[in-house]
Amino acid sequence: MRCAEEIITDMLREGGVDFTATLPCDRIKGLLGLVSRGFFHVPLTREEEGVGICAGAALAGKRPAMFIQNSGVGNMINALLSLTGFYGLPLAVFVSHRGIYKEKIAAQAPMGLKLPGILKGAGIGFTSIDSASDLEQVPKTLEDVYMKNKIHAFLLSPALWEGMELKVERNEGPEQKRYGAEFDDLGGEKEKMGLARKLDRYEMLSSVWAALDGAAVVCNLGFPSRELYHIGHRPSHFYMLGSMGMATPIGLGIALSNTSKKVIVIDGDGSLLMNPGTLATAACLSGGNLTIFAVDNGAYGSTGNQPTLAAGCIDLGAVARGFGLETIKAAREKDLIDALEKKAKGPKFIHALALPGNRDVPVIPLGHMEIKHQVMEFLFLRG
Ligand SMILES: Cc1ncc(C[n+]2csc(CCOP(=O)(O)OP(=O)(O)O)c2C)c(N)n1
């Protein structure tokens, strides 16, 4: 029996799709692997960017399709309406519909449950795909998208994949391409300078955990927060449960509002690339109480280690320096701790070079309101 991922990719091929753009979700990593290997593929930094790229591709005569998580639809609405829809360009959007079926992450529910209403309100057509038999609707709808220049979203329920597991490695992400010369390609020098990647995120967070004491810590969503909680909870930790790209903005907001506390943001390369403009705001507005600890593992770790553009093409440290942030590159335990403890006049960006990989730790047992209240109590403490 062909699995759902293979059926979909066959339908794409038959429907003439020749341009794909993806931003990963854990629940469609099998599909993403097939798409990135089988079609012209653009790995995105932000879903909204994909709308623009696909609009350009459609102008150039392509049949574009996007593959994203439903949270990303929230990042796309304006561009979908004022660009794709307005100019009458075709776009098929395959959406991993989270928060509706056997969902472990509560923060997926708000967008997941409201998504059909949001699409309806925006006048965007959609088809809910809950089982293999629903896939029969895809070919005709795809034809409509490209022949009648429509936007259409296919909402892929996690129920679809049940019992139809991809037979090839299910966890296989998109092809591990190298996107250009590796920025830190210093040969043997890298080792001597202590910039060779030796620690994964869990090892890195364990190494610096003690140095986070006393600071308000905003931690990136997914495995970074789960791992930090597992290493050791403090009431000063704001664990993000959703809202990718918001770690540094949240930390910046705290740092601007409470200058008596040190604020440390544990961000990720994928999340920073989704919202790099926040580094400009941080560099220009914040003071020495803000530190951005950017765990650069070159991957969307939490969704299956699909490579980000930081895996060889983008030097995040150089980006941060370009915006005017004091930047320190580090990979070894001692250097990471020294970097955190180093006094700085302005905001500091620690480019923490890590290996990809997640530790299989459980989801955080605290409720979101409990997390909020603990952090607020910590922030209102004097001294
Ligand atoms: C808008 C949006 N798009 C996609 C996702 C799915 N998602 C959750 S975590 C994550 C990866 C984050 O990668 P990175 O910031 O590099 O951190 P890492 O997990 O590698 O430490 C993705 C793509 C999401 N939650 N929100």
3-22 pLDDT, tens digit each: 999 999 999 999 999 999 99
Supply the mean pLDDT for the chain: 93
**Given this structure, which CATH class describes domain 4-161?**
alpha beta
Identical fold, 4-161 and 188-380: yes
Residues with CB under 6 A from ligand 1: 23-25, 47, 69, 71-72, 75, 201, 220-224, 244, 268-271, 295, 297, 299-303, 308
Q: Token pair for residue 370?
A: 């409990």
Query: Residues 28-55: pLDDT tens digits?
Result: 999 999 999 999 999 999 999 999 999 9
pLDDT at 172: 44
Q: Is the dihedral of CA 12, 123, 77, 69 positive or negative?
A: negative
The SS3 call for residue 304 is coil
**Given this structure, which CATH class describes domain 188-380?**
alpha beta
User: Domain coordinates of the chain in residue numbers?
Assistant: 4-161, 188-380
pTM: 0.94
Report whether pLDDT(213) > 60: yes
Q: How far is the CA of 147 from the centre of ligand 1 (A)?
A: 34
Q: How far is the CA of 245 from the centre of ligand 1 (A)?
A: 8
Give residues with Cβ within 8 angstroms of 273, minimum separation 6.
Answer: 45, 46, 308, 309, 310, 314, 316
Query: Residues 259-278: pLDDT tens digits?
Result: 899 999 999 999 999 999 99
The helix (run of H) or strand (run of E) holding residue 330 is: strand 326-330
